[in-house]
Amino acid sequence: MSKLWHDVQAVRVQPLELPVGRLKQIGLIIATAVTAALCIQGLILNHESRKLTQSRISLSQAETLLTSGAGPQVMLSAAEALELTSPEAARLAISLTHASLSQQPQQPYAWAELAYYQSRLKGHVDRTALSAFQTSIDQCGYCDQDLLRWRLGFALDHWEDMPEEVRLDVFRGAEFLRWWHMDGAFLAEARERATALGIDFRDYQRKVVSDIRPHEILPAN
């Protein structure tokens, strides 16, 4: 597996096995990506939540924060800072993300993360995780390239749990990555990964082929 696909997998699936220096770098990448998505909604991450994303917190700290009345981005960053080494940690990450979303529902990245935490807890994509995943798509269909990449990797990893329409939604996003002419290497590796899993990547690309370019799609309000 090449470094490009491994980096995507590392952020999404196994963030705890990385060296500290790499972990901090990924924390910055995540913070930048979250900031980009939130800017679409006119929001800016505060300094406190950015610092939290780059560190780790204990379960007791997370439990305390959960009842502290902290803002949505602090809650979300706390969930990201948990080490998901136990079901309890996954449940806390879910609770923190729910607390964030209860204050600010329009957070496509948070909904995507909720789908991930739920899948970690259950070991597969259940109805709750699928609903969160679809909500992320509904809120931000094509507005963020990092989110499109993440969804494609997540869908490939949980292919059997994905209804056909959700698969097509994900590949519509992949089609937009192709239009941007910036993801040739990533898509080639995604296709290689799909082929290894017995998924006909090119067939799904053909099903969603579009003449509409990304800049012709207006961001959702």
* pLDDT, tens digit, 9 for 90 and up, residues 189-206: 999 999 999 999 999 999
Report if residue 53 sits inside a domain.
yes
In angstroms, rounded to a whole number, what is the distance separating the alpha carbons of residues 77 and 134? 22
129 exposure class (CB count in 10 Å sphere: 0-12, 13-18, 19+): buried
Q: Which of 98, 1, 5, 100 is nearest to 43 (CA)?
A: 100
Residue 221 lies in a domain: no
pTM of the model: 0.72
Question: Angle at which helices 59-66 and 72-81 pack, to 10 degrees?
Answer: 160
| 183, part of any domain | yes
How many domains, in total, are found in the chain? Answer: 1
Alpha carbon distance 130, 138 (integer Å): 12
Q: Is 42 left (phi over 0), alpha (psi -120 to 50) or beta?
A: left
Q: What is the pLDDT of residues 141-167, one digit of tens each?
A: 888 989 999 999 999 999 999 999 999
Average pLDDT, the chain: 78
Q: Which domain holds residue 71?
A: 3-216
pLDDT band at 19 (very low <50, low <70, confident <90, very high): very low
Region 108-114 average pLDDT: 97
How far, in Å, CA of 177 to CA of 146, rounded?
A: 10
Give domain status of residue 129, yes or no.
Answer: yes
Kindly report the number of other CB atoms within 10 A of residue 179's CB atom: 16
